[in-house]
Structure 1
Amino acid sequence: MAVQIKGRHLHFMAKDVLFKSKFLNWFLHKVYAIPVKREDNDIVAIKTAMKVLKNKEVLGIFPEGTRNMTEDDMLEPKGGLVLLATRMKVPVVPVGIRGEYKFRKPLIINYGKPIYLDEYYGKKLSSQDCIDICKKEIYPEIIRLKEL
């Protein structure tokens, strides 16, 4: 995915346990990954992600909080994607990924048109609101893109 974005860095949120290995820690920082403590609300990760967006860089988030390697179209979303998009007033570019997450196996990646959540800007949204907005506004497009 990062190859498709010319002239900008793609920052991904990655679970913090991946940063424990010296090599992976070095590598993940080189590819602009942001460590996230998934078991709690990681304020440091959220602030780092907000800084990335404020600097007009690109932030990659799997709305499910992980890569979906099941047969299900989508897993239950987390609220972080909608929280960040509405707080920072940035569009969400949906991406559908199809294929096996295995070394040297091809993946098909389809990019959709930006989704603007401006009707939610400035509103106090609960975690459940963010999940519901993701299911209603973003998931249908990701599912469509996965099927192309």
Structure 2
Amino acid sequence: MADHQHPGATRSVERSDDRVAQLGTGARHATDAFDVPSALMEARFADIGDPVDAGTIEGPGIDVHDRSKRGDVSLVMGGREVPDREHVHGSDASMRLVAGGELNRWWRVGLPIVTPLVRLVFRTRVDGLEHLPSSGATIVAFNHISALDGPVLAIEIGRRIKRESRFLVAAEFFRKGFFGWILRRYDQIPIRRGEADGPALEAALTAVKEGVLLAVAPEGTVNPDPDTLMRIRSGVARIALPSGAPVVPVGIWGTHRRWPSAGPSWGRPWRPRLVIVFGEPLLAAGNVDDDGDVEAFRERLRAHLVRQVERARSISGEQP
């Protein structure tokens, strides 16, 4: 297979390197020893948050048509229709690949290595994958109950629909030697935690406008109480409103059985069930400079995230 470099990948890596350089000296050339598996578990996939109600939704460049008898969603993106896809869910054994984009060489090399690790640790089920566009600008907003959420979500999206994803990742992880190198090779975006980081949001907005799938944890950090969603931050609204990109709310349940906020846990069950539920796409409506529009969008996103988390927990067999 010929090598297809991800559009703008070189420029994206350079931009990420520049951002890291701004955030601290030695970010690019850190040489400290670092345990890569532990780093993957520790990575915090930072802030963002906001959407509109499901149903027949219209927005700039994107129409979500009436659902078919199967409940599928058809998207028209930039004048090009993305056809309805068969409802996809189930265990690894029943998993079907959904045609997506062409992965660049880093993803083609990395996925076969890390996918068996996920299957070794979890019994995975994905529901609602038909709601995730196979191409074009997309924002994925997920609840954050474990340091494993980001890696697992990226792996499942990559292996199931062959889409690359970019996350907002805490800037300090870009200074972790080999792990930082990995983050840059996969075009992840550094963001400073605990403060407003305008340049990071601008980089994320630019990526979305270029047609990237951007994944964000609107809570901004790992939630120590998986049963209750924390306050949703405004980052998703500040990207979705000006870009017009659909926001897909995602509920994750089960990663905290192996890596809760307190650290790794290896008790029974040996292979806990991991459930990932993709909700219907949401479109932002309003003005990003209007605090009322931003707040309304944030509340809608929270409601939809709560719904998907409840679905994921129910599918896992756990009771509230």
TM-score normalised by L of structure 1: 0.84
Deviation at 1:129, TM superposition (A): 5.2
Give percent identity, aligned residues only. Answer: 27
Q: How many residues align?
A: 144
Partner of 1:111: 278
Cα distance in structure 1, aligned partners of 2:179 and 2:199: 20
- Residues 132 and 33 of structure 1: CA distance in aligned 2, closer, same or farther (over 3 Å): same
Partner of 1:4: 157
**Are 2:214 and 1:52 aligned?**
no
Partner of 2:294: 130
Quick one: which amino acid aligns to residue 275 of structure 2? I
Q: CA RMSD in A?
A: 2.1
- Residues 54 and 123 of structure 1: CA distance in aligned 2, closer, same or farther (over 3 Å): closer
8 Å contact 1:34–1:45 — kept in the other structure? yes
Partner of 2:171: 16
Quick one: which amino acid aligns to residue 85 of structure 1? A
Partner of 1:85: 240
Partner of 1:40: 195
- Residues 123 and 65 of structure 1: CA distance in aligned 2, closer, same or farther (over 3 Å): closer
Cα distance in structure 2, aligned partners of 1:145 and 1:134: 16
Partner of 1:147: 310
Cα distance in structure 1, aligned partners of 2:192 and 2:204: 13
8 Å contact 1:77–1:131 — kept in the other structure? no
Quick one: which amino acid aligns to residue 4 of structure 1? I
- For the pair shown, the structure with the greater C-alpha radius of gyration is 2
Cα distance in structure 2, aligned partners of 1:105 and 1:99: 7
**Residues 81-125 of structure 1: per-residue CA shift (max 9 Å, x gap):** 11110011111100001113336754211000101112x1x3522
User: What SS class does the counterpart of residue 86 from structure 1 fall into?
Assistant: helix
Cα distance in structure 1, aligned partners of 2:213 and 2:255: 24
8 Å contact 1:61–1:81 — kept in the other structure? yes
Unaligned 5+ segments in structure 2 are 1-152, 260-270, 312-320
Cα distance in structure 2, aligned partners of 1:59 and 1:142: 16
Cα distance in structure 1, aligned partners of 2:297 and 2:305: 14
8 Å contact 1:100–1:107 — kept in the other structure? yes
**Residues 44-98 of structure 1: per-residue CA shift (max 9 Å, x gap):** 2112101110111110011111232424421111110111100111111000011
Divergent runs of 4+, >3 A: 103-106
Cα distance in structure 2, aligned partners of 1:94 and 1:18: 25
User: What SS class does the counterpart of residue 196 from structure 2 fall into?
Assistant: coil
User: What SS class does the counterpart of residue 248 from structure 2 fall into?
Assistant: coil
8 Å contact 2:157–2:163 — kept in the other structure? no
Cα distance in structure 2, aligned partners of 1:96 and 1:87: 25
Deviation at 1:43, TM superposition (A): 2.2
Cα distance in structure 2, aligned partners of 1:29 and 1:105: 31
Cα distance in structure 2, aligned partners of 1:100 and 1:56: 29
- Residues 114 and 62 of structure 1: CA distance in aligned 2, closer, same or farther (over 3 Å): same
- Residues 123 and 30 of structure 1: CA distance in aligned 2, closer, same or farther (over 3 Å): closer
